[in-house]
Every structure is written in C-alpha cells, then in structure tokens.
Structure 1
C-alpha cells in the first residue's frame, strides 16, 4: 500500500468515526422550574404565550428531567409528563437551554425573602416597576434569545400572543423603570 493510499484510508476511517460517534448525552437530573411558566396540555414553550386553556406552573416547582428530544426537554412534574419546548431560543444548545429553565437551586428560597407584592407578581406571571432582572425572569420567564440576544440590555421583548408584544425597560441599576405595550396587553401583565 502506498503512503498516499494509507493516508486516504486513515482519513476515511477518521471521517467515518466522526459521523458514527454516539451523540453527546444530555444531563438528566432533578431541579426546579426557574420561573412561572404557562402550560397548554403538556407543552411549556419558552415564548410563554397565554391563551385558552393555559395554566400557570409556579417558579420553584420541583422538576425531574427524563430525556431530551429535538428542541425539547422531557420532564415530569408531580409524576406527570411535560415537554419544555425551545421554540424561540434555538441559538442556545440543549444543555444551555435546559440549565436556563431547570435550575439546581430552588428559586422559592429567594422568592420567600422578597416583598409580598413582588411574590404576588411572580405567582401571577406579572411584572411591577422596581423589580430586578432576576425577579422579572422568575415572573415572566427568560426573554426569548432570538429577539433578546443579550440579557444586559435596557429593554427585554416579551409576548402574550403572536400580536401582543410588550417590553420591560430597566434603569441603570437593573430595575424595572417602565413596561410598554398596548393598553390591553399591559392590563394583563403590569401589576401596579
């Protein structure tokens, strides 16, 4: 066998090994839901739309990850199966997405230290002027990364539905200074 032929064979084997290598397994662990999320049937989407038949699952709810699928994390909550969908944050890999929504430290501990009005806003998936970024995430979920590539900006875009956008604006100290949007949308998300 010539030197060139052996190099070609070696390259072909290396290439085949790369394509045939088993996929990297995603972590399976127990944790807590990072934030108050809306569920429709068994589907929890990162966009966190509201609608007919949606209900809230509270931040700090214990969660068991049971597996991963294409742009989704399979979980159980109180023994019931759910799918957490990465619908609008697909620039995040599976591990980043999973770790964003299923946290390893119970957020209920932080929640218990905050004022009652902030706790109420978080439980009802609403926002108040003066809340911190952490509190907004706990109340509304993460702003989807397709529209909010950086979390350190002064405004985050959210939606209640396809045509119900609103924006949370932060001051230099990282606290909510204003929430903007259509009056009907604001009535459903802004707690005074």
Structure 2
C-alpha cells in the first residue's frame, strides 16, 4: 500500500502541467500612414464606415475632401483621423483587393475639392449633395457616392456599377462608351435619394 502511494506521489510530482495556448491573431499588415483627403462622400455610423456606404437612418455624411490621416491597419479595416475625429473604414465587401489598396481608394493625396472647383456648377452641387446625374464622369460619381464594392464590381472600367442604398435596394449607374453616366436605374426610393435633378 505504501509503495502504491509513493508511486502515485512520484507520478503526480513529475506530471508537467499543461498550459492552455491561445491562438494569437497574426499581426495586421503593415501599411503607409498616409495623410491626405477623403476621396468621396462616405456615411459613418458614428466612428465606423463600411465600404457598402448604405444610406441608412442614423448615418451621417463625412464630406468628400475631408482631411484624412491613416493611423493604423487591422484585418479588414484601417483606422484614420478625419478632421480630428477617429474613424475606421471597414472592408466588408471588397475583400478581393488588399487592405493597402483598399485604403488607397479612400485616402487620396490630391484634394478632391480642388478638382471640384473646375467642374460645371451643377456637377459640383450634385457631388456635394451626394447625388449623381447624367453626363458625370466615373471620377465624379466616385466623389459623389463612393466606390461600388469590389466584390460585385471587380473592374471599374465596366459599363455598369452596382450600388446598394440598403440591404434590399440596389441601384445601378450605367456609363456610355465615353465613360459618362448614361442612366441610373433603381427603385423609386433609391432614385429619389441618389439621382440629382437635371438643370
């Protein structure tokens, strides 16, 4: 009996405790901490912006040309300072492009407002209102309503860009062979929110 107890005590003393190893997330990808300007009108939920850019209740617009400074990168989003306010822009639906390329879409080095000053007044007014109109260039559409998500629009040279006003309401911007907006197609509510009145 004593031998058995001694053997059990020896065994207990020699067992190495198993430590629980938690899987660590890989380090976020490094990227340039660029300063510049917001490419386009984007809707924020307070401190977070999605690439889908839904026009939902409770969101507010951060205007095209807002001073922007990237402060860090994470797995599907990058952090930035927009005119003194912390935000993050999340890659929800454009995961077929790298996070660095994703960030370069939204923080640009040339101030869009300077370009807008050379646009026809009706176009500049539409962009500031977050609306599109026939005759706009692709660049002007981007300034007004942001990028169409890359998951559904792999090529920005396509003649149709698909956008979503919310989870149920799609609208499409169609370009002619010169790269100018030909038509905007969607349900009446979406069109009332995105289509500018023509002069």
TM-score relative to the length of structure 1? 0.86
2:150 to 128, 135, 145: 145
Q: Give the corresponding residue for 1:43.
A: 48
Cα RMSD (Å): 1.4
Q: How many corresponding residue pairs?
A: 172
Q: CA deviation at 1:78?
A: 2.2
Which has more radius of gyration? 2
The separation in 2 between residues aligned to 1:141 and 1:25, in whole angstroms, is 25
User: CA-to-partner distance for each residue in 1:10-45, whole Å, 9 max, x for gaps?
Assistant: xxxxxxxxxxx9775211121100011111111111
**1:24-173 alignment runs, 5 A limit:** 25-173=30-178
Query: Any idea what SS the aligned residue of 2:117 has?
Result: helix
Q: Which structure 1 residue ranges, 4+ long, deviate > 6 Å from structure 2?
A: none
The separation in 1 between residues aligned to 2:126 and 2:49, in whole angstroms, is 20
**Structure with the bigger percentage of helix:** 1
Q: Which runs of 5+ in 1 are unaligned?
A: 1-20
Query: Any idea what SS the aligned residue of 1:160 has?
Result: strand
The separation in 2 between residues aligned to 1:191 and 1:22, in whole angstroms, is 44
Q: Which runs of 5+ in 2 are unaligned?
A: 1-25
Query: Any idea what SS the aligned residue of 1:76 has?
Result: strand
TM-score relative to the length of structure 2? 0.83
